[in-house]
């Protein structure tokens, strides 16, 4: 012991004195020439950039950020798409995205600055493609910044200290408009310099155009709907875009989306007209088929190097894997009611009562969804649906009361009270005590996937998510950091919906052009593939909500909806003390049949969006570092 | 054992590297007091708000050092008064933010059109009042009434525009009766079980301006307890903060 301390002191003392200058490049640090002289080096540089891209993918949650393995606070539970036991109210993002974005911007800038010096080693087309790629990466990152914070500092070149003074490094925020224009400029450069196709997982010129359609649509919506103003002292509008610019941006989104015409198409490999099963299977496969013509930019995962835990966190309870997670994303009834093919009341809510006000009885829980839109069934596991060759059992309890003359509502319409204990047998958790039915057979009080009264690892809303869940993965492999399905960051359906929305906005603003007809055609193409009811005519497309709801259905559970609800500036109205609705199936013991009760979330999770969150708080640590940054309003 | 060695090594390192800083912070601690009230310019009464970060706050920019300082914020109390006894002596530009016509307004190009911020020296006990025009005046009409039949409480209120400036006449979006078992009652602190919100779509809320609005609590209020009531209303402007009535108490028999 004493000897060790003595040795340590010797080392410490000697090491403090060892400071001779050796003016040679360090041999263990990779130099520019090692990277930029070969195609392999460039590929490695790019691989890192792509892996750092701020995608809200399988490794994203609003509480922990991007590229995090633990995603038990799923984004869909923040938008009204779903309920989750681990995210029970509206939240802003709770991580410092700012400090993750600028290092990547620096890497893109470094590439743009260094590559030209080595260009002579490569064919010109390759160099241009790579430069375009760096512009794309930079634009992608600025997009991730501007949608969170509004106007941010635009850094176009590599900044160095001490060559630049501290004051020069404190770059102030640009206007929100300037950032969107900068993104457009970068993506235009990428479009005109990149090749038509690229390696899987990397951008090409059409990827740039697709992202431009997304960015410009966001900018147009902000210009049109945002009401928050923030100016700096030099008349730069850090939050908000002048309303007069809206049509210009919508037009840019519309035009950019048009560039992809004929280059990509909706995935319809196993689609068949009039065949709901085929349409459902087709829609499920769209997320797994590597050769899908719909994929524009994907992020591949591969076990064991790059992995995520989407299956482990989200499988229905009865298929739970070894880590003990399941059912984090449970679609709300509000979301399910957006779809076609389910019985509905005049106000669009699901019909569970007959004309006499008694519950409608069903032999199987799946019967209610017999005619449901295939896209719904491919997106959501409804009670009794088949997944991994198992019937997913979801019901809330057994109703033991009398059934002659029909069963009346268990609770008044809209009541948030818990279910009465009388006449209802339920189960607190998955360790169930079977209940003896009148015919002496036994039945569990709740389905194997829920709903349990005291254990949230179940279908708390009466539904479980299906989109992106790997139907082939054996339960033994349903583990954290074991899944490796591909994330599709941009697919052609989104480009079509971008274009349709921009077109409808232009039409609504009275712009001359064939916009309404165009939006109508696009919406119907998306609907046809989904197996949804088609719009009868262009005149039937008479409300922006038709376009928006199509987007909410098509892109659900892809972590896009929160940003959409924010840019439409409607989230504060949607989440205003809101309790989302759930659908609770019950088994009526004396009728040997099921009925459904639509009710507000029994857990009473209440969602209120804070208007300040339209522009997120700039992390205080960033303002401490750069005092020129002006905080967003209200923080 | 190993751990101990690491700890000792770390300690030695800290000693070696940290032992040459002889400067220390010898500024006096902040001791000046800034106090005052935020008042309704018309009635001269204090403007009601909620405690915390969706209420009203002071914005202090200390101009002694920089023309563009990072602002220092502190919150006003829910009765519209404020008091901070730990302010550094210096020259400040002071503003308030909340559910009223902003003291600092811009035109579409970002040029300042209205600037009612106050620039002053803060030294000793500095008092300053701000007179602002709230978006809405929310007033009680009569006292809360206990309905013994269904154990609820009904209140009557009226809300009117607090400013003649039509740029701040956005639609009234909702009116909210907040019920709480303690005095800090408002959108930041209320009981969902009893509080009731009435949402208005489009311009329908504007039709209620100047009308008597009756609100009744949800569910049954438990007996033999005191509850604190307050009504808030807001317009679709900016960050959509509420304007409030004063707090009233009711004893449930």
pLDDT digits (tens, 9 = 90+) for A278-310: 999 999 999 999 999 999 999 999 999 999 999
Among chain A, residues having any CB pair with chain B shorter than 8 Å are 1, 4-5, 8-9, 12, 16, 227-229, 231-237, 242, 572-573, 576-577, 604, 606, 610-612, 623, 627-628, 631, 633-635
Q: What is the pLDDT of residue A149?
A: 97
Q: Quick check: B20 pLDDT over 60?
A: no
**How would you classify the pairing of strands B130-132 and B32-40?**
parallel
Q: What is the pLDDT of residue A319?
A: 96
Residues in chain B closer than 8 A to A227 (CB atoms):
236-238
Closest-CA distance, B125 to chain A, in angstroms, reads 27
Q: What is the pLDDT of residue A127?
A: 97
Q: Is there a contact between B192 and A612 if contact means CB atoms under 8 Å apart?
A: no
Per-residue buried b or exposed e for B63-95, using 16+ beta carbons within 10 Å of the residue's own CB: eeeeeeebeeeebbbbbbebebeebbbeebbbb
Q: Which residue of A has its CA nearest to B238?
A: A228
The size of chain A, in residues, is 635
Q: Is there a contact between A634 and B192 if contact means CB atoms under 8 Å apart?
A: no
Residues in chain B closer than 8 A to A634 (CB atoms):
53-54, 97, 239
Q: DSSP string spanning B200-230? A: --TTTTGGGTTS-EEEE-SSPPPSSEEEEEE
Q: Is there a contact between A233 and B68 if contact means CB atoms under 8 Å apart?
A: yes
How confident is the model over A169-180, as a mean pLDDT? 96
In this complex, the residue of A12, A233, A623 whose CB is nearest that of residue B70 is A623
pLDDT digits (tens, 9 = 90+) for B80-119: 999 999 999 999 999 999 999 999 999 888 899 999 999 9
In this complex, the residue of B13, B106, B174 whose CB is nearest that of residue A231 is B106
How confident is the model over A242-246, as a mean pLDDT? 96
Q: What is the pLDDT of residue B22?
A: 58
Q: How many other β-carbons are positioned within 10 Å of the β-carbon of residue B228?
A: 19
Query: How far is residue A33's CA from residue A36's CA, in Å, rounded to a whole number?
Result: 5
How confident is the model over A538-556, as a mean pLDDT? 97
Q: Which of A223, A245, A42 lies closest to A129 in space, CA to CA?
A: A42
Question: Would you place residue A15 in the very low, low, confident or very high pLDDT band (cuts 50, 70, 90)?
Answer: low
Closest-CA distance, B182 to chain A, in angstroms, reads 20
The answer to whether B45 and B37 have CB atoms below 8 angstroms apart is no
Q: Which of A442, A451, A437, A450 lies closest to A589 in space, CA to CA?
A: A437
The answer to whether A623 and A105 have CB atoms below 8 angstroms apart is no
Q: Is there a contact between B238 and A227 if contact means CB atoms under 8 Å apart?
A: yes
Domains and CATH numbers, chain B: 32-132 (2.60.40.1120), 136-252 (2.60.40.2060)
pLDDT digits (tens, 9 = 90+) for A598-614: 999 999 999 999 999 99
Q: Is there a contact between B238 and A237 if contact means CB atoms under 8 Å apart?
A: no
Q: Quick check: A272 pLDDT over 90?
A: yes
pLDDT digits (tens, 9 = 90+) for A405-439: 999 999 999 898 999 999 999 999 999 999 999 99
In this complex, the residue of A8, A627, A634 whose CB is nearest that of residue B70 is A627
Q: Quick check: A11 pLDDT over 80?
A: no
Q: Is there a contact between B5 and A229 if contact means CB atoms under 8 Å apart?
A: no
Q: Which residue of B has its CA nearest to A606?
A: B192
Q: Quick check: B16 pLDDT over 70?
A: no
Average pLDDT in chain B: 90
Residue in A235, A245, A574, A601 to test binding to B, most B beta-carbons within 10 Å: A235
Q: Quick check: A13 pLDDT over 90?
A: no
pLDDT digits (tens, 9 = 90+) for B117-167: 999 999 999 999 999 999 999 999 999 999 999 999 999 999 999 999 999
pLDDT digits (tens, 9 = 90+) for A97-148: 999 999 999 999 999 999 999 999 999 999 999 999 999 999 999 999 999 9
Closest-CA distance, A505 to chain B, in angstroms, reads 20
Q: What is the pLDDT of residue A163?
A: 93
Q: Quote the pTM value.
A: 0.91
In this complex, the residue of A9, A16, A612 whose CB is nearest that of residue B239 is A612
Q: Is there a contact between B173 and A573 if contact means CB atoms under 8 Å apart?
A: yes
Closest-CA distance, B128 to chain A, in angstroms, reads 22
Residue in B63, B168, B174, B239 to test binding to A, most A beta-carbons within 10 Å: B239
Q: What is the pLDDT of residue A12?
A: 62
| Burial zone of A118 (CB within 10 Å; 0-12 exposed, 13-18 middle, 19+ buried) | middle
Q: Is there a contact between B13 and A16 if contact means CB atoms under 8 Å apart?
A: no
Q: What is the pLDDT of residue B8?
A: 72
Helices A39-52 and A98-114, packing angle to 10 deg: 160
The number of C-beta contacts closer than 8 angstroms across A and B is 59
How confident is the model over A545-560, as a mean pLDDT? 97
* Contact residues for A402 (Cβ-Cβ < 8 A; gap 6+): A590
Average pLDDT in chain A: 94
pLDDT digits (tens, 9 = 90+) for A50-89: 999 999 999 999 999 999 989 889 999 999 999 999 999 9
């Amino acid at each position: 012991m004493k000897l060790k301390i003595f040795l340590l002191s010797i080392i410490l003392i000697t090491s403090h004195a060892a400071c001779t200058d050796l003016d040679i490049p360090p041999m263990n640090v990779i130099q520019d020439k090692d990277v930029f002289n070969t195609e392999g080096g460039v590929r490695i540089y790019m691989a890192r950039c792509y892996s750092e891209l701020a995608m809200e993918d399988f490794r994203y949650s609003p509480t922990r950020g991007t590229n995090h393995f633990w995603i038990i606070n799923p984004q869909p539970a923040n938008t009204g798409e779903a309920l989750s036991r681990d995210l029970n109210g509206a939240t802003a993002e709770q991580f410092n995205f700012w400090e993750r974005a600028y290092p990547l911007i620096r890497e893109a800038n470094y590439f743009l600055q260094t590559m030209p010096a080595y260009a002579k080693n490569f064919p010109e087309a390759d160099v241009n493609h790579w430069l375009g790629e760096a512009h794309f990466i930079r634009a992608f990152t600025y997009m991730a910044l501007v949608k969170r914070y509004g106007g941010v500092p635009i850094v176009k070149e590599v900044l160095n200290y001490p060559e630049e003074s501290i004051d020069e490094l404190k770059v102030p925020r640009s206007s929100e408009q300037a950032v969107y224009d900068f993104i457009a400029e970068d993506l235009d450069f990428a479009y005109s310099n990149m090749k038509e196709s690229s390696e899987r997982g990397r951008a090409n010129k059409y990827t740039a155009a697709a992202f431009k359609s997304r960015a410009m649509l966001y900018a147009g919506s902000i210009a049109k709907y945002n009401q928050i103003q923030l100016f700096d002292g030099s008349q730069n509008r850090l939050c908000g875009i002048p309303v007069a610019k809206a049509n210009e941006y919508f037009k840019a989104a519309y035009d950019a989306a048009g560039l992809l015409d004929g280059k990509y198409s909706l995935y319809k490999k196993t689609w068949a007209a009039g065949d709901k099963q085929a349409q459902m299977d087709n829609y499920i496969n769209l997320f797994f088929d590597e050769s899908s013509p719909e994929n524009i930019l994907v992020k591949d995962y591969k076990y064991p190097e790059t992995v995520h835990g989407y299956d482990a966190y989200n499988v229905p309870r009865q298929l739970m894997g070894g880590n003990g997670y399941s059912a984090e994303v449970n679609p709300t009834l509000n979301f399910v009611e957006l779809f076609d093919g389910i019985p509905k009341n005049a106000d669009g809510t699901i019909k569970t009562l007959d004309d006499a006000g008694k519950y409608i009885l069903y032999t199987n829980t799946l019967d209610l969804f017999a005619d449901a839109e295939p896209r719904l069934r491919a997106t959501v596991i409804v009670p009794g649906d088949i997944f991994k060759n198992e019937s997913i059992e979801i019901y809330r309890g057994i109703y033991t009361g009398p059934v002659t003359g029909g069963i009346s509502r268990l609770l008044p319409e809209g009541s948030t009270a818990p279910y009465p204990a009388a006449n209802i047998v339920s189960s607190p958790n998955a360790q169930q005590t079977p209940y003896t039915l009148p015919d002496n057979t036994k039945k569990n009080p709740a389905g194997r996937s829920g709903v349990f009264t005291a254990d949230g690892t179940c279908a708390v809303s009466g539904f479980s998510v299906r989109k992106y869940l790997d139907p082939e993965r054996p339960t033994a492999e349903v583990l954290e950091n074991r899944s490796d399905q591909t994330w599709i960051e941009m697919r052609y359906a989104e480009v079509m919906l971008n274009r349709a929305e921009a077109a409808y906005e232009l039409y609504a603003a009275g712009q001359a052009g064939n916009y309404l007809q165009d939006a109508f055609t696009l919406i119907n193409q998306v609907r046809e593939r989904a197996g949804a009811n088609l719009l009868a005519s262009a005149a039937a497309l008479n409300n922006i909500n038709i376009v928006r709801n199509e987007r909410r259905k098509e892109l659900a559970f892809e972590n896009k909806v929160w940003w959409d609800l924010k840019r439409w500036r409607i989230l504060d109205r949607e989440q205003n003390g809101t309790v989302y609705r759930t659908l609770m199936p019950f088994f009526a013991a004396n009728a040997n049949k099921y009925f459904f009760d639509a009710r507000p979330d029994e857990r009473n999770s209440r969602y209120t969006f804070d208007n300040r969150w339209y522009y997120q708080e700039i992390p205080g640590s960033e303002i401490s570092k750069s005092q020129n940054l002006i905080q967003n309003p209200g923080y | 054992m190993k751990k101990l060695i690491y700890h000792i090594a770390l300690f030695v390192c800290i000693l070696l590297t940290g032992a040459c800083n002889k400067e220390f912070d010898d500024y006096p601690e902040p001791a000046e007091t800034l106090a005052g009230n935020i008042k309704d310019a018309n009635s001269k009464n204090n403007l009601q708000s909620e405690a915390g970060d969706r209420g009203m706050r002071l914005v202090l920019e200390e101009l002694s050092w920089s023309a563009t300082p990072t602002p220092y914020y502190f919150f006003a109390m829910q009765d519209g008064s404020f008091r901070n006894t730990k302010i550094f002596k210096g020259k400040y530009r002071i503003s308030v933010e909340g559910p009223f016509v902003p003291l600092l307004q811009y035109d579409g190009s970002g040029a300042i059109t209205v600037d009612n911020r106050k620039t002053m020296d803060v030294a000793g006990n500095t008092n300053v009042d701000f007179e602002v025009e709230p978006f809405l005046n929310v007033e009680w009409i009569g006292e809360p009434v206990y309905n013994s039949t269904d154990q609820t409480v009904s209140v009557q209120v009226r809300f009117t525009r607090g400013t003649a400036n039509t740029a701040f006449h956005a639609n009234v979006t909702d009116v909210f009766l907040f019920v709480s078992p303690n005095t800090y009652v408002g959108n930041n602190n209320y009981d969902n079980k009893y509080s009731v919100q009435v949402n208005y779509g489009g311009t329908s809320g504007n039709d209620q301006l100047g009308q008597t609005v009756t609100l009744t609590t949800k569910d049954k209020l438990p007996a033999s307890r005191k509850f604190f009531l307050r009504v808030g209303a807001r317009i679709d402007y900016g960050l959509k903060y509420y304007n409030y009535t004063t707090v009233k108490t009711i004893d449930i028999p």
